[in-house]
Amino acid sequence: MKHPEIVVLFSSYRCNSRCVMCSAWIKQGSAPELSLKQIEKVFSDTLFGKNIKIINLTGGEPTLREDMVDVVRVLAAQCPNLRRIDIPTNGINTQQVLDKIERTLAVLLPTPVKLSVTVSVDGVGDVHERIRGVKDIFPGIRKTIEGLKELSCIYPFLSVSLNTTITKFNVQDLENLRAFSRTAGVGINFTLAALSEIGVESIAKQGSFEIEVESGRLITTFIQEITEQKEMEKSYGEFILHWLKTGERAAPCNFRKGRVILMEPDGNVYACGNFKEFLVGNVLKETFGVMWKRRRSVPGNAGDKCRTCNSNCYMGEI
Ligand code: SF4
Ligand code: SF4
């Protein structure tokens, strides 16, 4: 039986953004969080930690967790085959983000683990601020990107990029974002907003951000262009284009293969990145090994949910 190699670890639902396509920030304050000690115990399970190669330390805004750097220290210590930690950030609180990332780099310096930091940018200037629901944040985000770039010159194992979630609110701004990334001197990834019941719980906002048919044509042209220009990986570009054309998924999913799992701040583990029916168990109630054996009884075919899912599910990573 395969064991997961990638963990999407929602360390907290605390967030200082109010994104239109997200409900994570609504849960903050009411969502319990695994403590540092509990995280250490979970990853020290040899059936778990030793197989992990990539951890996406996400949220919420992961840098709002006071002990984020210690969480990274624990993960690097308990996962001997870890090769990369991904940290997505909204980049709003420049000083806090740069401080936490710099201290994280110091922790990872003596290890072979690389760090990938992705700053969410959904539009340029006020387009971004409207989508993120917070005014006057764009200049600070620009400074965060500049600071991260400077850190990447000092620490070559740090990679910095931007990520745009495509919704109906930024279809007209995609070319501006592309130009912004060039000016900023960092790469940019474009992903389609996915419907999810877990994590960001975008499904609660369904209908408010989904791409309209007319916009689908604009996005298709844009994705074709950036794929041709090799700014997007060909297989992912084709995946998006197929989904835009048919509404159906045309690629395997690493969650379904059992290679990726999602863990919520309260310790719930899911064998799917989007839907609660694939709950495997809770790491506070049983060991990972016991839980993972039972996963066999989780339906392997999620029917329509998988057929129409547009999540990239770490395509090309394993
Ligand atoms: S999408 Fe991310 S940054 Fe935006 S509110 Fe949700 S957790 Fe916060
Ligand atoms: S819905 Fe299916 S395809 Fe999408 S993440 Fe879950 S298991 Fe993978």
SS (H, E, C) the chain: CCCCCEEEEEEECCCCCCCCCCCHHHHCCCCCCCCHHHHHHHHHCCCCHHHCCEEEEEECCHHHCCCHHHHHHHHHHHCCCCCEEEEEECCCCHHHHHHHHHHHHHHHCCCCCEEEEEEECCCCCHHHHHHHCCCCCHHHHHHHHHHHHHHHHHCCCEEEEEEEEECCCCHHHHHHHHHHHHHHCCEEEEEECCCCCCCCCHHHHCCCCCCCHHHHHHHHHHHHHHHHCCCCCHHHHHHHHHHHHHCCCCCCCCCCCCCEEEECCCCEEECCCCCHHHEEEECCCCCHHHHHHHHHHCCCCCCHHHHCCCCCCCCCCC
Atom 1 of ligand 2, nearest CA residue: 306
Low-confidence ranges of the chain (pLDDT < 50): none
Interval between CA 7 and ligand 2 midpoint (Å): 15
pLDDT at residue 85 in the model: 98
Global pTM reads: 0.95
pLDDT at residue 1 in the model: 61
Residue ranges around ligand 1 (CB below 6 Å): 15, 17-19, 22, 24-25, 59-61, 90, 120, 200
Which ligand 2 atom is the nearest neighbour of the CA of 194?
Answer: 4
Which ligand 1 atom is the nearest neighbour of the CA of 22?
Answer: 6
Interval between CA 135 and ligand 2 midpoint (Å): 34
Domain 6-307 has CATH 3.40.630.30: no
pLDDT at residue 292 in the model: 85
Which ligand 1 atom is the nearest neighbour of the CA of 13?
Answer: 7
Atom 3 of ligand 2, nearest CA residue: 306
pLDDT at residue 185 in the model: 97
Interval between CA 216 and ligand 1 midpoint (Å): 24
Interval between CA 114 and ligand 1 midpoint (Å): 24
pLDDT at residue 304 in the model: 76
Residue ranges around ligand 2 (CB below 6 Å): 253, 255-256, 272-275, 302, 305-306, 309, 311, 313
